[in-house]
Structure 1
């Protein structure tokens, strides 16, 4: 028996090697892998000269809901795009299509009825013209009579066979797994993974519907589990000679966003496609092009007075960075009349604390006047009671601070679409609601449409907690939380996104060492120029300016020509431009530039409404 063990072991290794080669991918890692250092490196590009660089968001005859989710993220992330009806693409040859659009994005639900001639154009666009396509799960699966095809028209191009399930088959749903060695991994927070599975704290694991597939020759970047086999592929990538590539997504990331407010799946996939594969220039959605961070403290009741005394006495809130402090202002907490609230209008209770905390940042409303009563009895409150409680909270804080309240956080996460109307009527610019976790600010979806009257700042946390308190309550030691939060903050830096981390006074007052180390790590990144910490209110002002900027980027023989216009101001707006490994840029007047990993980040310094300038690209000097 001992003599046969090496032979058996060798056979197993050989079979595994054959399987990996056949599947076109690496075996999934199980969370035990060595630390993976993410690299955000600009790809080699071959853009057409003197043409506005943009992608086409391809839509069908009937505008499906998923399209709006794709368009929303493209706009929020500052990617140049154009909405293009699928039937108009037939006006192009493959070469002309590649000159007009550096990539095509075909969302789920929008390309089901594409014609064989359009499918042939897409194939030639990739294989002959070096085009790149983000391919939705069910593209080309239904013919012009509305009948299901035996396989999708772009199956071969995607490197697999896919089809809509027949009457005898059921649409399956699966959890999403992203192996540690996948290039997708860096676009998701490390705090979202239970081993390799995407998971939000206190919610079921993220699930997506997926189509039956077979014959996979593409590389598998993510899968739907529970086993890593080609038939469970979720994201697959097929590269072609000449630079063409197809990223096939066997799922419904757009529907995840509009139905469940799970934002990070679609956002991560689009950013991987457009940054890693296309190298598309963009207008970075953060001031100065760095990562951004909102540090939020929720003051819910008078139970935190002793903790606030300790925080103020020990000076635990650094004066170098501003905080967003959300306060439930009423005199009660668990029920009306219990006198356990913050009571901000009382000079002997809450008012001195609010006046002291106001020196450390911006005061916002933490919902509806009576924190726990709102949180635990929300479903019993009438719409009029909700409106009254919110109005009382805003009015009391404005009386104490002398400033208008413009940001909000939902107590206990209790919220519904009716509250949106009350917040909008009060001029609320941004709200923290337990939706769109671990994502940049976005517009949340309610009843099938996005709430555009104010921004949603989701909470960024770990699989075992969003606030430090529930992390500690779950049994995690302060040292573990500190280590994981430091890793989470480090992962934000190269993504250059705005995020929100929140806590209550009790956790930092009773674990000052943990907090000082986390805060010190934030200050380190701020000092190095890699991170911007601002209040939610200030970031919202930037985002409102960002979404109103009109711009174009063209590659010329001398570099990139940028034209930008804003009805407000272009100051702090940053353009990310791909350079490759051997190039660098010269600094145009009125800007500053930072180069990193083959990208140039060009930030406008002056307060201008309109700018047009060349960013010269030159070869690096070789020593």
Structure 2
């Protein structure tokens, strides 16, 4: 009798477990089959800093996504989900080992129409953590051999420069002109050509490959390969690790291209009203600006149709206490600050004595509390004139020890800051040593033009006025074409004192024209920082079926200036065109700023045609 009872119990347990597995699998497939999202895959560490770097960019770019384990992914039928899961990303570091059969799963998914991005070191190690010694199945599908350790050993991973194939490739991956030299190599602020970690990959079979970038030895860096209905993108540098070290640009640019131009993922646009946005940031360090501010106003370099931000060091000194060379906000500079308020917002440029403050931070002569007190003195002087607390910050001479500085920013209520890290990229919640510094205080990376940012630096590099005029025009066009946000920085006296007056005048005239035409907008750091935080915290859900796409967007504060981007096609079906702005791949739908929630249906054209036919028949 006991034996029979045990068998009955065992059957019951097995039945329950079978039901649980079925129920879990059913729910998983139901979720996947209804909701449009990007999958971010990891194998071992869901809490990896690398994943958080990807998450942050996807949130800031308004992308619906889900983090999923490798083992969960391969339980989903790969050939039925490409309409709902248009893109899958395998980030660097967290997928060095992938589960058995994942490579076959990827191939089936891609052949059915899916898009997959493989970043840097995917599938390069076995389960034991050791490097693979021969090409994998995935290597052969892509036509590149990542597994060169047996031949290369300590040369398997090196550093090299990244060269885009041509200007078309530069534009495709939304790289600002100022970040690319005449040979299409990526350059950095004050560094020249940047060195990136690169794997020593070898070409097995280049048939069908589109090579967008290589290193100086012509090794592949960015490669796309279309396979039947879908596509594989391989990137041979650790994008997540770079983001974690304050180099945001490549991760953001490549993800945007992959998700929006290759995979056509529905999303929210990362600029207000889906317009290119320029933030102009003038740094006022010393008494040299007393005359230059008047000169800039008289010569129409400061204009009321162009929003600007003016960051001021308030004290009466610059190099040493009591040298009397400072801007002196509470003295001779007061009237000038009052004039500048007509042209934009006033922010804090650090700690009271511009050069002395930067020098003593750099030499570690000041404690965190002392640094804070100098910034606080600076702020109080500005507030005494403007009537409001400054919430924008720029560090004198760019000296910004990240951890202690962010602590001070939080305590003093700052919401944004000028930043020399992430140069050339969009404002973002930057990372340092693998960690996000703040989820509410936004870094505004400086836009660079070659190795320079300010006009003085361009002068010191002997750049011609024609070269700067070209840079500035292309910069404005870049903002418009990519609906991007960037920060331009210099000093007011730079315009007066160096050879670029015509170039700056042409730039400002062009900006004014683009603003008047509705193609571009100028905003303050404060305005953009509020928008970025709000967008990153906006919930979005896209679902799809045979009738079309359904979008649900919610934000507890407001949907003001948020714009939906809906792909023009769902599989082989076209989304019905309405009175929307559009480009080659998307319709753009502004949301109602008075609402906290939007529910919108985007039907396919064939459904509407069928309904009209049914009405006629009736």
CA deviation after TM superposition for structure 1 residue 390, in Å = 0.8
- Determine if the alignment matches structure 1 residue 270 to structure 2 residue 260: no
Corresponding position of 1:29: none
2:577 to 561, 580, 585: 585
Corresponding position of 1:250: 236
User: For 2:377, what is the secondary structure of its paired residue?
Assistant: helix
Long gaps (5+) in structure 2: 1-30, 610-618
CA deviation after TM superposition for structure 1 residue 88, in Å = 0.7
Long gaps (5+) in structure 1: 1-47, 588-592
C-alpha distance in structure 2 between counterparts of 1:147 and 1:421, whole Å: 41
Corresponding position of 1:465: 452
Q: Kindly report the root-mean-square deviation, in angstroms, between the aligned alpha carbons of the 2 structures.
A: 2.3
User: For 1:236, what is the secondary structure of its paired residue?
Assistant: strand
CA deviation after TM superposition for structure 1 residue 147, in Å = 2.9
Corresponding position of 1:221: 211
1:387 to 354, 360, 372: 372
Corresponding position of 2:22: none
Contact 2:307 2:524 in 1 (8 A): yes
CA deviation after TM superposition for structure 1 residue 153, in Å = 4.5
1:155-166 → structure 2 map (5 Å cutoff): 155-163=139-147, 165-166=149-150
Residue deviations 1:152-178 (CA, integer Å, cap 9, x gap): 441122221111625843221111111
C-alpha distance in structure 1 between counterparts of 2:585 and 2:598, whole Å: 24
Contact 2:191 2:451 in 1 (8 A): no
Whose radius of gyration is greater, 1 or 2?
Answer: 2
Corresponding position of 2:280: 295
C-alpha distance in structure 1 between counterparts of 2:361 and 2:566, whole Å: 48
1:97-176 → structure 2 map (5 Å cutoff): 97-98=81-82, 100-127=84-111, 129-150=112-133, 151-163=135-147, 165-166=149-150, 168-170=153-155, 171-176=157-162
Contact 2:575 2:605 in 1 (8 A): yes
Contact 1:508 1:514 in 2 (8 A): no
C-alpha distance in structure 2 between counterparts of 1:359 and 1:586, whole Å: 40
Pick which of 472-481 and 461-470 moved more.
472-481
The 1:359–1:484 alpha-carbon spacing in structure 2 relative to 1, beyond 3 Å, is: same
Corresponding position of 1:344: 329
C-alpha distance in structure 2 between counterparts of 1:365 and 1:543, whole Å: 21
User: For 2:476, what is the secondary structure of its paired residue?
Assistant: helix
Corresponding position of 1:546: 535
Residue deviations 1:538-593 (CA, integer Å, cap 9, x gap): 11111121112111223455543211111000121101122169866224xxxxx3
C-alpha distance in structure 1 between counterparts of 2:544 and 2:391, whole Å: 41
CA deviation after TM superposition for structure 1 residue 519, in Å = 0.7
1:363 to 346, 349, 354: 346
Corresponding position of 2:553: 564
Corresponding position of 1:527: 516
C-alpha distance in structure 1 between counterparts of 2:494 and 2:547, whole Å: 55
Contact 1:160 1:216 in 2 (8 A): yes
C-alpha distance in structure 1 between counterparts of 2:305 and 2:69, whole Å: 50
Contact 2:338 2:386 in 1 (8 A): yes
Pick which of 568-577 and 156-165 moved more.
156-165
User: For 1:586, what is the secondary structure of its paired residue?
Assistant: coil
- Determine if the alignment matches structure 1 residue 597 to structure 2 residue 584: yes
1:36-51 → structure 2 map (5 Å cutoff): 51=34
User: For 1:116, what is the secondary structure of its paired residue?
Assistant: coil
Residue deviations 1:504-523 (CA, integer Å, cap 9, x gap): 11123345433221111111
User: For 2:326, what is the secondary structure of its paired residue?
Assistant: coil
Moved >6 Å (runs of 4+): none
CA deviation after TM superposition for structure 1 residue 208, in Å = 2.0
- Determine if the alignment matches structure 1 residue 80 to structure 2 residue 64: yes
- Determine if the alignment matches structure 1 residue 410 to structure 2 residue 395: yes
Contact 1:553 1:563 in 2 (8 A): yes
Pick which of 94-103 and 534-543 moved more.
94-103
Pick which of 49-58 and 83-92 moved more.
49-58
C-alpha distance in structure 1 between counterparts of 2:108 and 2:574, whole Å: 30
C-alpha distance in structure 2 between counterparts of 1:317 and 1:76, whole Å: 31
C-alpha distance in structure 2 between counterparts of 1:99 and 1:520, whole Å: 45
User: For 2:540, what is the secondary structure of its paired residue?
Assistant: strand
- Determine if the alignment matches structure 1 residue 333 to structure 2 residue 318: yes
Contact 1:280 1:578 in 2 (8 A): yes
Contact 2:575 2:602 in 1 (8 A): no
1:499 to 475, 486, 507: 486
C-alpha distance in structure 2 between counterparts of 1:617 and 1:327, whole Å: 54
Aligned length: 561
1:58 to 35, 41, 64: 41
1:419 to 398, 405, 409: 405
C-alpha distance in structure 1 between counterparts of 2:559 and 2:38, whole Å: 23
Residue deviations 1:440-462 (CA, integer Å, cap 9, x gap): 11122223311124100001121
Contact 2:160 2:215 in 1 (8 A): yes
Corresponding position of 2:7: none
Corresponding position of 1:41: none
The 1:240–1:602 alpha-carbon spacing in structure 2 relative to 1, beyond 3 Å, is: same
CA deviation after TM superposition for structure 1 residue 225, in Å = 2.5
The 1:428–1:519 alpha-carbon spacing in structure 2 relative to 1, beyond 3 Å, is: same
CA deviation after TM superposition for structure 1 residue 496, in Å = 1.0
TM-score by length of 2: 0.86
Residue deviations 1:332-383 (CA, integer Å, cap 9, x gap): 001111011011011xx11011011011110000111111112333223312
User: For 1:196, what is the secondary structure of its paired residue?
Assistant: coil
The 1:614–1:168 alpha-carbon spacing in structure 2 relative to 1, beyond 3 Å, is: closer
The 1:376–1:247 alpha-carbon spacing in structure 2 relative to 1, beyond 3 Å, is: same
Corresponding position of 1:284: 269
CA deviation after TM superposition for structure 1 residue 298, in Å = 0.9
User: For 1:551, what is the secondary structure of its paired residue?
Assistant: strand
User: For 2:458, what is the secondary structure of its paired residue?
Assistant: helix
Contact 2:431 2:437 in 1 (8 A): yes
Pick which of 261-270 and 147-156 moved more.
147-156
C-alpha distance in structure 1 between counterparts of 2:464 and 2:366, whole Å: 41
1:209 to 197, 209, 219: 197
2:306 to 321, 335, 347: 321
TM-score by length of 1: 0.86
Contact 2:548 2:575 in 1 (8 A): no
